[in-house]
A and B are shown apart, each in its own frame.
Chain A
Amino acid sequence: MQRESSRLIDLGFRFSAIILALLFTTLVLLVAGAPPIEAFRHIILGSVGSVGKISDVLVAWVPLLLATAGLLVTFSAGLWNIGIEGQITLGAIFTTGALRALQASSLPPAASIAVAVLAGAVGGALWALLAGALKTYGGVNEIFGGLGLDFVATALTLWLIFGPWKRPGVGSMSGTEPFDVTLWLPLFPGLRLSPWALVIGLGGIVVVYLLLQGTYFGLKLKAVGRNHRAAFLSGIPTSRYMMLSFLICGSLAGLAGAVQVTAVYHRLIPSISSGYGWLGLLVSMLVNFQVVPAAFVAFFFAALNIGSIQLPIVLKLDSTLSGVLQGSLVLFVLAMEGARRRLVRLREG
């Protein structure tokens, strides 16, 4: 039947995109003079080869999951929230600030950590609202507004690390003074992974799933994103919904930053956002903005990142190979999608 064959064609195109991405990456490896099969093998081993490695993947998964979850909300509203990196950073800054303020107080450590994590969400939300305001009231496209704020966030981080929050002595790129162990999110014994971080990450994606799939807000947001004018004509306050989507995304991004500080680095470092914002954008595009596949692809991308850490050690290759694979995947999926649609049109017309 017509639909059967078109679904097969869909899958065919998508599959060929994956093949092409793998071929491209293989080509790149060959150009670099590296053995492709070895490289892939090391990536796989380096990510799922042991319990320790898998837990490292999960450590990377959490912030990526949170960033992606947030982005799915803004994408639903039709927005390109390039400012996500800055929002993660501000979350980390607020969290660090809160911990610094509370570490000397009499508050029990668990409470301090909880307050600090919430502060992170607030920080990210505020930064996102700024980008939203620039767009709604300043007419600045959210891509450039977001970028500008990303840069400001970077500058802010550097100022704090080398200025008011610098380590005793001389400020250095290694960041602020690490927090005492009591102010760390508790970890699984022997691993770098925190169960609390997992809870936050999974909680984030579940909340977003429920929000987008199950609530009126999510449905209205989808309407705004798909057809701003028609949504407006049907009575939805479109500007308010766009700002709300920024708020939600910023909070989740802020949580990602909070997790980075309380569970991973235990201090503020210059690139605390670690590119999870950019990666989240790629994940979202790859899964065509669907929540459930996003969680899996985020895991896959996190695994690629962690696995690639092996490459400099065993093969003297740079770990950015993961970026090449991730980027080319999205690129070929986009290209194949365009080719498929063109084929469909040619057949019809």
Chain B
Amino acid sequence: MDLAAIIIGLAGVMATAAPVIFATVGETLSERSGVINLSVNGTIILSAMTSFAVAVSTESLFLGFVAGMIVGALVALIVAFTSLTLHQSQVAVGFVLTLTTASLAYFLGNPIMGLSGPRVRSLPLPLLSEIPILGPLFFQHTPLVYLSYLLIAGAWFWIFKTRPGLMLQGVGERPAAAFARGGNVRRLRYFYTILGGALVGLAGPTYSLGVKAGWKGTISGLDGIGWIALALTIFGGWDPLRAALGAYLFALLQWLGLVLQPSLPGIPSQVLQVAPFPLMILTLLLVTIGNADWVSRTLAGLPEDARRLVTRGLRSLYVSPPAGLGTPFEKE
């Protein structure tokens, strides 16, 4: 494989990672405020179908994207309302929604299957796109990919470098303390959950109006992306930057699956396509295993230096969720 092909391939990785980044960053924001939105998988499917339908009927890409984001926000609103106001389990509601939204998408999207619709065109950035190697890699993409770059930086900056971001961290970490500092915990949770949902809703049209243009029903290849986003949120330690790295890793694995196809005749192509999914989910094992009881007991048996090394390694991998995740908060 020559360099040009590799660069094209890697550029493709940047592009296919973009929707995953939207969903993952959205979920990170939601979970940072303390709400798990398990409906991500179905929401992506529904927003993809809806935005495609709207774009085809109105012939406007912009409206298509808006529709997708509205769908994502609405579903997230249902999650927020049933859990924050009606006090039902976030896991239960999110799970039901993930199935129902997918069913809705397949049912309502039936008539538009196979239609061709508008597609986002690439927009090479002047000057930047002409840099050798880096140009084609980063700067000859659709505006959506540029948006994904901005989102990673923006979300990271927001959470860690702004005043409201600090309050967001506080709300997720210790709602009682955030309340003591003047934060309106419930309102902030609603806000970030809906915002997160809107971003998830952006992932759908990024597929159906971009990377995987069109609506092909159950073989759209979108099923499973939402679960990956949820896993990446954990893997990323609720940090948009680290989560994005996970997203790029996932997209890379998908591309490698295609690339290695000819050199691995024994393995069917379908397997290589599916393989990145379990791999990403099982990486969770790496980040949580440091916590297990038997690990610390085994470590206690190792000699001092070895133990220190292994512990440091495990510690750097280990992530702990915002302590208030999934817990209700009521003022007395």
Q: A residues touching B (Cβ–Cβ < 8 Å)?
A: 28, 31-32, 80, 82, 134, 137-140, 143-145, 147-149, 151-152, 154-155, 158-159, 161-163, 171, 278, 281-282, 285, 316-318, 320-324, 326-328, 330-331, 334-335, 337-339, 341-342
Name the CB-closest residue of A to B111: A32
Q: Is B292 an interface residue (CB 8 A)?
A: yes
Q: CB < 8 Å: which of B38, B85, B100, B289 contacts A324? A: B100
Main secondary structure of the interface of A (DSSP, over half): helix
Q: CB < 8 Å: which of A154, A282, A318, A339 contacts B96? A: A282
Report whether A155 and B275 are in contact in the complex, using a CB–CB cutoff of 8 Å: yes
Report whether A28 and B92 are in contact in the complex, using a CB–CB cutoff of 8 Å: no
Q: B residues touching A (Cβ–Cβ < 8 Å)?
A: 38, 78, 82, 85-88, 91-93, 95-97, 99-100, 102-104, 106-111, 217, 224, 227, 230-231, 234, 266-271, 274-275, 277-278, 281-282, 284-285, 288-289, 291-292, 294
Report whether A144 and B100 are in contact in the complex, using a CB–CB cutoff of 8 Å: no
Report whether A171 and B86 are in contact in the complex, using a CB–CB cutoff of 8 Å: no
Query: Which residues of chain A come closer than 8 Å to B274, judged between CB atoms?
Result: 151, 154-155, 158
Query: Which residues of chain A come closer than 8 Å to B86, judged between CB atoms?
Result: 335, 338-339, 341-342
Name the CB-closest residue of B to A336: B86
Give complex CA distance A140, B278 in Å.
14
Q: CB < 8 Å: which of B88, B111, B271, B288 contacts A159? A: B271
Report whether B88 and A338 are in contact in the complex, using a CB–CB cutoff of 8 Å: yes
Report whether B92 and A159 are in contact in the complex, using a CB–CB cutoff of 8 Å: no
Give complex CA distance A323, B104 in Å.
8
Q: CB < 8 Å: which of A140, A155, A159, A341 contacts B285? A: A140
Give complex CA distance A140, B275 in Å.
19
Query: Which residues of chain A come closer than 8 Å to B87, judged between CB atoms?
Result: 338, 341-342
Q: CB < 8 Å: which of A155, A316, A327, A337 contacts B99? A: A327
Give complex CA distance A154, B102 in Å.
19
Report whether B278 and A151 are in contact in the complex, using a CB–CB cutoff of 8 Å: yes
Q: CB < 8 Å: which of B88, B95, B102, B107 contacts A335? A: B88
Most chain A beta-carbon neighbours within 10 Å: one of B96, B231, B294: B96
Report whether B103 and A324 are in contact in the complex, using a CB–CB cutoff of 8 Å: yes
Known pairs A143-B91, A163-B267; A151 contacts B99 (CB<8 A)? no
